[in-house]
Amino acid sequence: MVLALALTAELIGVTSLRPLDDASNPFSYTFKVQCTSCRETHPNFVTLNRHETHEQSGSRGEANFVWKCKNCKREHSANIKAPPVPYEQSEPPKRVNILEFDCRGLEFLEFKPEGEFLATGIESNTPFTGIDLSEGEWYEYDEKAGEEVSIKEVKWEIRRA
Ligand SMILES: [Zn+2]
């Protein structure tokens, strides 16, 4: 099953919102995860990143995320299919799939935006780093544009791709 992490957000003065996620700064994507065999939900949030793989039992190769369900003892896995898609500013805000996962025997239920995000000033091209979206909003001042910039109404959804 392919699941997508979809983002909807109101961007004012900035665009190209994306997680800082490259080989030297891998982004840890944090999720609630559920076993699709027995519907057990992992008690804690789990993290995965697309630059790291883990061995699966048997000869099933490696995956970005491997989880053995404590309840039914089955082993499940997930892979991130491609780098995250930057979220572009639009009015009204659009819902965009920014990341896709190939999930085997598990489902992600909820995303927790922990980690650093980046964005770019629309007119000024000013790079913004260290954006924290854990509170669902972000405010900054773009010196070059002489304007306040912000990210608001941040909504994350997990849906079938
Ligand atoms: Zn299970």
CA dihedral 88, 90, 93, 97 (to 10 degrees): -30
Q: Supply the pLDDT for residue 161.
A: 87
Q: Supply the pLDDT for residue 2.
A: 96
Pull the structure tokens for residue 139.
């405010």
Q: Supply the pLDDT for residue 59.
A: 81
C-alpha 61 – ligand 1 centre gap (Å): 21
Instruction: Return d(Cα 117, Cα 137) in angstroms, integer.
Output: 12
Number of other residues whose CB lies within 10 A of the CB of residue 141: 12
Task: Work out the average pLDDT over 137-148.
Answer: 97
Pull the structure tokens for residue 1.
């099953």
C-alpha 73 – ligand 1 centre gap (Å): 6
C-alpha 58 – ligand 1 centre gap (Å): 18
Q: Supply the pLDDT for residue 60.
A: 85
C-alpha 102 – ligand 1 centre gap (Å): 18
Q: Supply the pLDDT for residue 70.
A: 96
Number of other residues whose CB lies within 10 A of the CB of residue 118: 17
Give 5-60 pLDDT, tens digit per residue.
999 999 999 999 999 999 999 999 999 999 999 999 999 999 999 999 999 998 88
C-alpha 37 – ligand 1 centre gap (Å): 5
C-alpha 40 – ligand 1 centre gap (Å): 5
Which among 28, 35, 119 has a CA at the least distance from the CA of 69? 35
C-alpha 75 – ligand 1 centre gap (Å): 8
Instruction: Return d(Cα 161, Cα 137) in angstroms, integer.
Output: 26
Give the rounded percent of residues in the chain with a pLDDT score beyond 90. Answer: 98
pTM score, whole prediction? 0.94
List of residues 6+ apart from 31 with CB closer than 8 A: 45, 46, 47, 48, 108, 109, 110, 111, 112, 158
Q: Supply the pLDDT for residue 99.
A: 97
